[in-house]
Amino acid sequence: MNADNKLLSVNNVVKYFDISGGFLDQLRFKKGRISLEKTTVKAVNDVSFFVKKSEVLGVVGESGCGKSTIARVIMGLYPPNSGKIYYDGKRIDNLTHKQMLPFRKKMQMIFQDPYASLNPRKTVQQTLEEPLRFHHPESSNKEIKDKIEQVMEQVGVDPAWIKRYPHEFSGGQRQRISIARGLILDPEFIVADEPVSALDVSIQAQILNLLMKAGRERNLTYLFITHDLSVVRHISTRVAVMYLGTLCELGTAEVLFANPRHPYTKSLLSAIPVVGEKRAKHIKLKGEVPTPVELPTGCVFHGRCVYADERCRTEIPALQTLDSGTSVACHAVAENRTT
């Protein structure tokens, strides 16, 4: 498992959420009979990928495509309905809470909204020392204090502000503190879920630079989730594009952005507004994203795809690796119908 440098592997992960509600909400009246029916949101459907050591894997997609769900499944915040997750060769999706502890130290998460992800009643010091005291109960107060100061300096927050509360900081500063919390246990792997989406452009650049610097200095591996394609293009080694709970294309950032193959990726990339360029006609998709409650048969994208044919409507396409190294899940690409 480790021979090819995989730090994390996600194999055929499926995650459904039951939203049917209580007993009465599940009652249906059909053909003169009363029956119970469950409603499930099919958030992630059979997704497989791996993350190599010290790379940045960007995951992009529109709202509701399952990118945050997959991140939470990896972190063990949601149990997957089926599928396996391996970290450094060891299966982690079926571990007990106690068995999971050593992995929690190595895997950390940074969330989108720095207003919601920091406890408003805890000072910066309390926020940062809690993980240390929990995972390293043997360390002395002095060690903890030194560690906190070192990490705060690294993320660019003055250690003199250690006794302050989150509300005394701006959005950008708060995000630095959340990053400090993510770094304080010296993790190997960080899942960053939209870490810059809530920030203004000039602050966004500061935080992206900080994440890249921390990545270089600490040899971190990132799973970077965002809907912002220019951010992903800038920082990712490889990029995974998701649509309606499935992975439709995965390749190195360079190849994927220069030569997108999946019809959805093409349309998505053509929609990015670029500063200083007049609108190049973007590829319009027909229709709207279907709900993940009733997934389309076959390829989930077929209803909006110009290349869709009978096979697309019935058979789910598998991810296939092309000569360029990019993997694409599309019958039309496999049959060379897209050119």
Partner 1 sequence: MSHLLEIHDLEVKFALRYGDITAINGINFTLEKGEKLGLVGESGAGKSVTGFSIINLISKPGYISRGKIFFEGNEISSYPDEKMRTIRGNAISMIFQDPMMTLNPVFTVGFQMIETIRAHREISKDAAGKIALEKLKRVHIPSPEKRLDQYPHELSGGMRQRIIIAISLLTNPAIIIADEPTTALDVTIQAEIMDLLQELCESDNMALILITHDLGVVSQVTEKIAVMYAGKIIEYGSTDQVVTHPVHPYTEGLIKSIPGTMIKHGEDLVQIPGMMPTLTNIPPGCAFNPRCYLKNKICTEKTPNLKDVGQGVLVACHMKEQRI
CB of 262 to partner 1, least distance (A): 14
**C-alpha span between 177 and 109 (Å, rounded):** 13
Minimum CB separation of residue 171 from partner 1 in Å reads 9
User: What SS3 string covers the chain?
Assistant: CCCCCEEEEEEEEEEEEECCCCHHHHEEEECCEEEECCCEEEEEEEEEEEEECCCEEEEECCCCCCHHHHHHHHCCCCCCCEEEEEECCEECCCCCHHHHHHHHHHEEEECCCCCCCCCCCCCHHHHHHHHHHHHCCCCCHHHHHHHHHHHHHHHCCCHHHCCCCHHHCCHHHHHHHHHHHHHCCCCCEEEEECCCCCCCHHHHHHHHHHHHHHHHHHCCEEEEEECCHHHHHHHCCEEEEEECCEEEEEEEHHHHHHCCCCHHHHHHHHCCCCCCCCCCCCCCCCCCCCCCCCCCCCCCCHHHCCCCCHHHHHCCCCCEECCCCCEECCHHHHCCCCC
Tell me whether residue 1 or residue 272 sits nearer to partner 1 (CB atom).
272
In the complex, the smallest distance separating the C-beta of residue 79 from partner 1, rounded to whole angstroms, is 28
Q: Which residues bind partner 1 (CB under 8 A)?
A: 62-63, 170, 172, 200-206, 208-209, 212-213, 227, 229-231, 233-235, 253-254, 267-268, 270-279, 282, 284-285, 288-289
Report the candidate in 273, 268, 300 with the shortest Cα–Cα distance to residue 285: 268
Tell me the closest approach of the beta carbon of residue 80 to partner 1, in angstroms. Answer: 26
Quote the least distance from Cβ 234 to partner 1, whole Å.
Answer: 3
Instruction: Give the residue with the Cβ less far from partner 1, 74 or 192.
Output: 192
- CB closer to partner 1, 4 vs 288: 288
Least distance CB 304 / partner 1 (angstroms) = 10
Q: Give whichever of 107 and 211 is closer to partner 1, judged by the CB atom.
A: 211
Give the shortest CB-206-to-partner 1 separation in angstroms: 5
